[in-house]
Chain A
Amino acid sequence: MAQGYSVFIGLVVVVALCIASWFLSPKGENQVLWRSSLILSVVSCYLMWAITFLAQLHPLIEPRKALTEEFWKH
């Protein structure tokens, strides 16, 4: 769960989604619009998720904060 290889799992999911949106787009004048918009959204969202995930994969700095005794109570 949520290991480094998740990026590739995500990629597979996204490719599947793209293929699905290519074939499931409603026919007609606006088919090209459906295809382009769906695929573009899926890819952009994946890109953003993957970037965020990768940026935290091997962090070079650790979170650091001043804590009070209260913090340990729960």
Chain B
Amino acid sequence: MAPRQDSPFRSADMSMVQLYVSNEIGREVVTALGELGLCQFRDLNEDVSAFQRTFTQEIRRLDNVERQLRYFYTQMEKAGISLRKLDLDVERLSTPSTSEIDELSERSQKLEQRISALNDSYETLKKREGDLTEWRWVLREAGSFFDRAHGNVEEIRASTDDDDAPLLSDVEHNHSAPDAERSFSGMNIGFVAGVINRDRIGAFERILWRTLRGNLYMNQSEIPEPLIDPTNNEAINKNVFVIFAHGREILAKIRKISESMGADVYNVDENSDLRRDQINEVNNRLQDVQNVLRNTQATLEAELNQISQSLSAWMVLVTKEKAVYNTLNLFSYDRARRTLIAEGWCPTNDLPLIRSTLQDVTNRAGLSVPSIINEIRTNKKPPTYLKTNKFTEGFQTIVNAYGTATYQEVNPAMPVIVTFPFLFAVMFGDFGHAVIMLAAALAMIYWERSLKKVTFELFAMIFYGRYIALVMAVFSIFTGLIYNDVFSKSMTVFPSAWEFKKPDGFKDGTTVTATLNDHGYRYPFGLDWAWHGTDNDLLFSNSYKMKMSIILGWAHMTYSLCFSYINARHFKKPIDIWGNFIPGMIFFQSIFGYLVICIIYKWSVDWQAKGAEPPGLLNMLIYMFLQPGFIDKPLYPGQSAVQKALLLLAVIQVPILLFLKPYYLRWEHNRARGKGYRGIGETAHVSALDGDDETRPNGNSLDESDGVAMISQNIDEEHEEFEFSEVMIHQVIHTIEFCLNCVSHTASYLRLWALSLAHQQLSVVLWNMTLGNALATTGPLGVIMIVICFYMWFFLTIAILVCMEGTSAMLHSLRLAWVESFSKFAEFNGWPFQPFSFKSMLEESEDLTEYLAPERGCDLNCSLHDRPDSIGKHLVAAFHLEILQPHRSHQLVHRDLDSRHGDADLLDLAVGTVADRDAAHDQVGCHEMRDLLVGLFDFLASVVAVGLGVAHLGELLDGAEGALEGPFD
């Protein structure tokens, strides 16, 4: 059988393949397949721990290289050198050979040593420099203190030793100035000089005071410039201190205390000449150190600069190489350990490509042993691989956010491409807002290449959905024209079918009722503009929009239900057609299909010409169930009999839905039993390795047949024992769910009406509150007001009506797709195909983000699982927020019921029975109020939803990280 062409209609055909590759070219083969990105390998060594696998050694080595590269990166950050980022769009890295990797590892080893040596010496030098600087400060400050102090020596002496003052005083008097400096030692006064952290000076003083009981003289001064601590590059303010005290022991004590307080004590000579020499020496040394420092720094920077050119490329290479070895670890060996055996899933249609790639690699290596690729039969469920292009990608993502479709079932994203934007447009319908949206979407598509690089999360999300926005905007333009709304105003393209005729005795403020033309002309496209701004336009548009919601809902659900037929036929399960699809369809059509026909019939009848009272359809439907056969107001002759028949038809479907499928399955099972077939309890020989086979004795995996890893596989996990009760319960649940959902889902489509009403009313309110007021004002004030109000109106229109209402409508449309539509046909039992691909790996890797130029969007035909669908996650969250407001949808139903109980049922109102009309008139004000409230509520709900969404962004991102785990992590 020739393989079917892959299409977006179903997931691609998948094959389980086995690869036999010579040991020597294992790495090259995996690299080539990684570039191709079409194989998802299975783990054949599940029972082997990570440490015992074959290539753990290589991975460790690469880990080390990676660590070294990271070390370079941190060093570069420290030195403020920017990295040359790798743009994978522009550059392609050729596949490195093993020797190149070895070279890289050696080189990074050497570089690491060199850089750490440079770093060490740099730090030592920095420390030396700091010390010298401090010393210089001490010398300078203490020196100036000494110079000041010497002038007072005599007075000090005189005051302390009165007795022998004259004697010594004479002596000193005769001495020249230099000798006077000796006087401190003569007085037996010593001193300690040093530098201490400014914060500690208070404590330092206090401690000294207490230990020495005040027997000291302390002088200090602040160093005006902050000093740099070389260990952590922080600036510290320090003080120079000089402490004078009496006696050697006390001095020693002071020294100890200052050291314990973290002060640095420096040697300062009392003699000013010596001090000058010291200062000179210190200055010289400082200069030397600074020279060396500069050189070291320059060398380090040069080295890092050189590294920065190729660091990203190295990082990518190492990451790829690691991934290759991780993948190789999944493989198994033959007995002689000469051949690698791999197993995995590949798209059937891509097998030739994989085969030729293998051939190429083998030929290039010049090996005589061919690489073999072997398709094997398995009863395992293949992964779901839905190919996308840049247009379908966004749609596929919003479907995948709900779940992964079952292998080969109708891809739910197919109808979503139209239904999702269309239902959105029904709620968003406003020509003006749609044009704004279209402009934004077109701009994003036109500048696709440059906008792709924007990393701002929120924008990236919108950008990701640019094609969805485009389709939504196009449909919104259409619905806007149908609703005849342009920023809440209407257009008069065609002549109206209504005419306001001036009544006799007309006064300002008289209410005039329009009359319909009598030659059968109707407004050809959309809503007649005569309704705009009338007292009862809401009555009309509510009736119209409600009925439209029901009809569109019915069409959407019928359409979705038809896919279940296609699925059943594809999976060759005729019982699903006879037991589920047909009775379900009949049930649905005999109630809601009938309702839709009645709606259309009622529209097409000219009730006024007929002179009959038009019936209320909601009442009709309710009486159809409560009192079968009772007709309140007849819609057509024979209605009673038709309704009874339809009801009977619907009721009969319930037992068919309930019992046909389970009993058929039981009969089929028993018949198979009767013919002597048994359930496949035993293991069957399927050439698929499986780790969860516990009956297999250890170690025999290699000697079963032909030296190939043929392992028996337990397949009863797929063929479960037939159990009637389980099938029955499942079917009962399905039946109840289906019947109830027919009703509740139809009611759920009323959100189309509610949201489009809210949107329209909100834009009317916005217009009236801003521009409407301004346009009514004349004179210079009017000019100013128009300018101000225009900006207000414009920005509020974009913020509230386009962005917020758009988000809200999108979420509701999403719900209609996910719940109302998908529940009719899709199973969502699949598991995603995540091929081993370098491209997706590099895109998803969080570690590499700082090394790579940002990349957004995908090329044609890249797998939808290539990238984290964080957008999907956001949608799910936002959706749950909407779902978590059940009062909202309940409110819809409630309002529906409320209005029914009150005599102002909207459907009936529109029908406009003459008796009700006056009562309805009184209700109009009330309706408007309520609609305004609905609009406000809708707005508030959107604000809350968006706010919460932003608040939970962090959480969501964490969640997205979980999804980032690659297939071989």
Contacts and interface: CB of A to CB of B under 8 A. Distances in A.
Contacts of B419: 40, 44
B522 A48 contact: no
Interface stretch (B145-153, B212-220, B574-582, B597-605): B597-605
A52 B478 CA distance: 12
A24 interface: no
Contact of A63 (B422, B498, B547): B498
Contacts of B695: none
Contacts of B417: 33, 36-37, 40
B936 interface: no
A40 B548 CA distance: 17
A36 to B, nearest CB: 6
B777 to A, nearest CB: 17
Contact of A3 (B522, B552, B917): B522
Interface in A15-52: 29-33, 36-37, 40-41, 44-45, 47-49, 51-52
A65 B530 CA distance: 10
Interface in A53-73: 53-69, 71-72
A66 B527 CA distance: 20
B667 interface: no
A68 B7 CA distance: 62
Given A40-B418, A51-B551, A64 B482 contact: no
B540 A57 contact: no
Nearest to A48: B482
B552 A68 contact: no
B498 A6 contact: no
A22 to B, nearest CB: 15
Contacts of B502: 72
Contacts of B7: 29-33
Interface residues of A, number: 40
B607 A2 contact: no
A71 B533 CA distance: 13
B911 interface: yes
A67 B500 contact: yes
A37 B5 CA distance: 19
A63 B5 CA distance: 56
A1 B521 contact: yes
Contact of A30 (B8, B418, B512, B514): B8
B4 to A, nearest CB: 11
Most chain B CB within 10 A, of A1, A45, A59, is at A59
Interface residues of B, number: 71
B365 to A, nearest CB: 34
B509 A66 contact: yes
B414 A65 contact: no
Contact of B535 (A44, A58, A64, A69): A64
Given A2-B524, A64-B511, A58 B605 contact: yes
B721 interface: no
B531 interface: yes
A29 B348 CA distance: 15
Contacts of A37: 417-418
Given A32-B9, A48-B426, A64-B511, A59 B536 contact: no
Given A52-B544, A58-B605, A62-B498, A40 B415 contact: yes
Contact of B548 (A30, A51, A65, A68): A51
B524 A67 contact: no
A42 to B, nearest CB: 10
A13 to B, nearest CB: 13
Among A29, A36, A44, A53, the most chain B Cβ lie within 10 Å of the Cβ of A44
B551 A47 contact: yes
B574 to A, nearest CB: 24
A41 to B, nearest CB: 5
B657 to A, nearest CB: 28
Contacts of B514: 62-64
Interface in B365-385: none
B847 interface: no
B460 to A, nearest CB: 25
B392 interface: yes
A62 B715 CA distance: 71
B516 A65 contact: no
A44 B526 CA distance: 14
Nearest to A30: B8
Contacts of B526: 49, 52
Contacts of B547: 51, 55
Given A29-B5, A60-B614, A54 B524 contact: no
Given A4-B520, A30-B8, A59 B500 contact: no
A72 B501 CA distance: 9
Given A4-B604, A62-B514, A64-B536, A57 B527 contact: no
Given A45-B475, A63-B498, A66-B512, 4 more contacts: A4-B522, A40-B419, A48-B482, A51-B551
- Please name the 9 residue pairs, one residue from A and one from B, whose CB atoms are nearest each other, closest first: A2-B524, A40-B418, A60-B912, A54-B603, A63-B534, A65-B534, A55-B544, A61-B912, A58-B606
8 contacts: A3-B522, A33-B417, A44-B419, A58-B605, A60-B608, A61-B540, A62-B515, A67-B510
